[in-house]
């Protein structure tokens, strides 16, 4: 079983268009799938799941769609806070990775309020990548290292891969074993760029709002058949 699964929630807009619905309806349907897959991952014992919710490039979408997405994030965070998706109720806790300083202030406050700190061995960590970009995350880490060098705390010759990893949003978490992308697209789109160096990739033609627990099982079974050598024999 993979310890950490990354999921690129893709295909919401196309799902809605195929049904003659506004693109925003696809995002609403996709949010329901997010909750269902989160619950299922906890049930089957996945330690960490990272969902790609909104990228740094998604700001280029039509303003009405961006506004609708921010409204949807807000509504779901309010619901999550009311339900208290902690280890007693939902079996998982929420984390947000990305530059949340760029999102609306009200949403920033909800993000801070919803995140919980308590983790035990029975808890699944759900990372929500919000205003996230893999290259930007690496830049964030490098800047932190540069500041340490400037302060004389670290010599440039002593910088290690562990120093870079420590500055990532996922610091302290295992790298993703498996990354799943529905919708038929065959790329990572700036998702977990550093962490995915040895991730197994699984692509599906199913659009995210149609993605089921059976589809997740199929991806995990495919992963289980692979021989992960990490550069060895």
Catalytic residues: 10, 58
Taking residue 66's Cβ as centre, other Cβ atoms within 10 Å add up to 14
Which H or E element spans position 30?
A: helix 23-43
Taking residue 228's Cβ as centre, other Cβ atoms within 10 Å add up to 10
For the chain, how long is the longest CA-to-CA vector? 60
- Cα Rg, the chain, nearest whole Å: 18
- Please give the full DSSP string across 82-99, using - where no structure is assigned: HHT-STTTTSEEEEEES-
Two structure tokens written together for 101: 């300083």
DSSP state of 18: H
Place of tokens 């339900």: 83
What whole-number distance in Å separates Cα of residue 124 and Cα of residue 144? Answer: 28
Q: Strand (E) positions, 118-224?
A: 124-132, 178-181, 200-203
Place of tokens 């302060």: 151
All residues at 6 or more sequence positions from 58 whose CB lies less than 8 Å from its CB, including other chains: 66, 69
Q: What's the first-to-final CA gap in the chain, in angstroms?
A: 21
């Amino acid at each position: 079983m993979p310890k950490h699964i990354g999921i690129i929630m893709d295909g919401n807009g196309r799902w809605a268009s195929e049904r003659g619905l506004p693109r925003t309806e696809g995002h609403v349907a996709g949010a329901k799938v997010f909750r269902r897959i989160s619950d299922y991952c906890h049930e089957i014992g996945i330690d960490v799941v990272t969902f790609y919710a909104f990228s740094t490039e998604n700001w280029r979408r039509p303003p009405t769609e961006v506004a609708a997405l921010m409204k949807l994030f807000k509504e779901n965070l309010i619901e999550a806070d009311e339900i208290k998706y902690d280890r007693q109720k939902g079996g998982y806790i929420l984390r947000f990775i990305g530059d949340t300083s760029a999102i609306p202030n009200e949403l920033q406050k909800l993000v801070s309020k919803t995140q919980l700190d308590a983790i035990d061995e029975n808890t699944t960590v759900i990372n929500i990548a919000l205003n996230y970009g893999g290259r930007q995350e690496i830049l964030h880490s490098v800047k932190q290292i540069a500041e340490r060098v400037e302060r004389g705390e670290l010599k440039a010759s002593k910088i290690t891969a562990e120093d870079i990893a420590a500055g990532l949003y996922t610091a302290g978490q295992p790298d993703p074993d498996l990354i799943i992308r529905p919708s038929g697209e065959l790329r990572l789109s700036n998702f977990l760029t550093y962490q995915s160096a040895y991730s197994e990739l699984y692509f599906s033609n199913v659009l995210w709002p149609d993605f089921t627990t059976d589809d997740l099982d199929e991806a995990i079974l495919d992963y289980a058949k692979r021989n992960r050598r990490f550069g060895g024999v």
